[in-house]
Chains A and B, each alone.
Chain A
Amino acid sequence: MTSAAQTPSQKPARPLGILVLGLMAAAASATGRPEPESVAMLTGFGLPDLAARLAIHVLPPVMAVAALLIGRAATRKMSPTVKWTIYALLGMAVGMVTAWHMELFAGAPGMIEAINGPLAEAETIEVLLWALGSILMILAVMVGAVALFGSGAAKAMQVEEIDPELLDVRRAERRLYGYSALGMAAPAIACMALAIARQSLPEMRMGPLVVAGIAAIISVAVNWIIWRSCDELQRRTVINGYAVSAVAVTVGAFAWAIAAAAGYAGQIDAAALVVALTIIQMIATMSATAAAMGKTFATAQSA
């Protein structure tokens, strides 16, 4: 297995992530339905209806690629933490603009309603549960691709030039990637099932709640297996993530309690607490991972 070609002096891996992300955004856009207000706005400028709809479908991949290119150019000499924070903010902006003009996965609500009856309009917490579930599911698919296809998938998702040894995913490592994908897919399903239960008629809530409960149990079990497989750096990264999220949520909950006692806030929703905890923990873990492992090829070479 020893290979002199894999010493640190080899050339950086050429990133393919921009192309892959553009294709993924185009695929997601194909599932969507343009919002009537956005179509009306464009037809108001004189565009034919078909051209207006087409323009809205083209918007997500164009914005995703543009955001990545801008992010790469703007953050070239920045630390990994700042770099990935800016990427996350750009991604959030692209997501918000897309959601404003287009309903993604437009066929999904109909399919859910066919199985579980009519769904009420999603309120803030349900929207957050859907958004969190979607983000976790996208991450699960990405990590799952590495588990299934190894180095090829890892290389296809890079947006920066990085040390090629980091892309060398061995067969033995794929099992852990597989568990990680399952560890993200399970809470994604739990979040979505909880949102469905909250939006369902009272007599139709038991099914999605059972699914949410089972998914949550699987998530805990898989995370335990992953923890047992982690080495010291990986465990430290996980602990850092939990430490930051625990402090942030404790302070946030205390501030909420003060506001509630003063009559400025209502009772806190447990689902909101779960969403806040998960999002903060996810950001903190990603930030800690980026700080420990996210060194780009250029900075690694100069070290």
Chain B
Amino acid sequence: MKNRLKVLRAERGWNQSDLAEKLSVSRQTINAIETERYDPSLPLAFAISHLFGLPIEQIFISETGPPPA
């Protein structure tokens, strides 16, 4: 899943360690999410959403699109 984590983090002047500390995860996890090697769990995605003050869908971009109606 694509995401804007790297851009949002850079906009705030945070490095990966800063973001990891704020979310109580390892720096490797932030790196893996940013490089799209790992999709976070729903609780972590919500924590990221709350931290940046943005809805989840503005941070994580689904490559499959919405489900059929």
Contacts and interface: CB of A to CB of B under 8 A. Distances in A.
Nearest to A172: B21
A3 B19 CA distance: 12
A267 interface: no
Interface string B1-44: 00000100010011111100000111111011011111011001
Interface stretch (A4-12, A141-149, A190-198, A253-261): A4-12
Nearest to B2: A303
Q: How large is the interface on A (under 10, 10 to 19, 20 to 34, 35 or more residues)?
A: 20 to 34
Contacts of B40: 232
Contacts of B32: 233, 292-293
Nearest to A170: B17
A234 B26 CA distance: 8
A231 B25 contact: yes
Contact of A232 (B6, B15, B16, B44): B44
17 contacts: A2-B13, A2-B14, A3-B15, A6-B16, A7-B10, A7-B15, A8-B6, A165-B16, A165-B27, A166-B27, A168-B17, A170-B27, A231-B29, A234-B28, A234-B29, A292-B32, A292-B38
Contacts of A160: none
A300 interface: yes
Contacts of B35: 295, 299-300, 303
A6 B25 CA distance: 18
Given A6-B16, A300-B35, A233 B10 contact: no
Interface string A252-279: 0000000000000000000000000000
B48 to A, nearest CB: 12
Interface residues of B, number: 24
A233 B17 contact: no
A295 B36 CA distance: 10
Interface string B28-69: 110110111110110010000000000000000000000000
A114 interface: no
A166 B55 CA distance: 28
A1 interface: yes
Nearest to B14: A2
Contacts of A126: none
Contacts of B31: 163, 165-166, 293, 295, 300
Given A165-B31, A173-B27, A293-B28, 15 more contacts: A1-B15, A2-B15, A3-B15, A4-B13, A6-B17, A165-B27, A166-B31, A168-B16, A231-B24, A232-B41, A233-B29, A233-B38, A292-B38, A293-B31, A295-B37
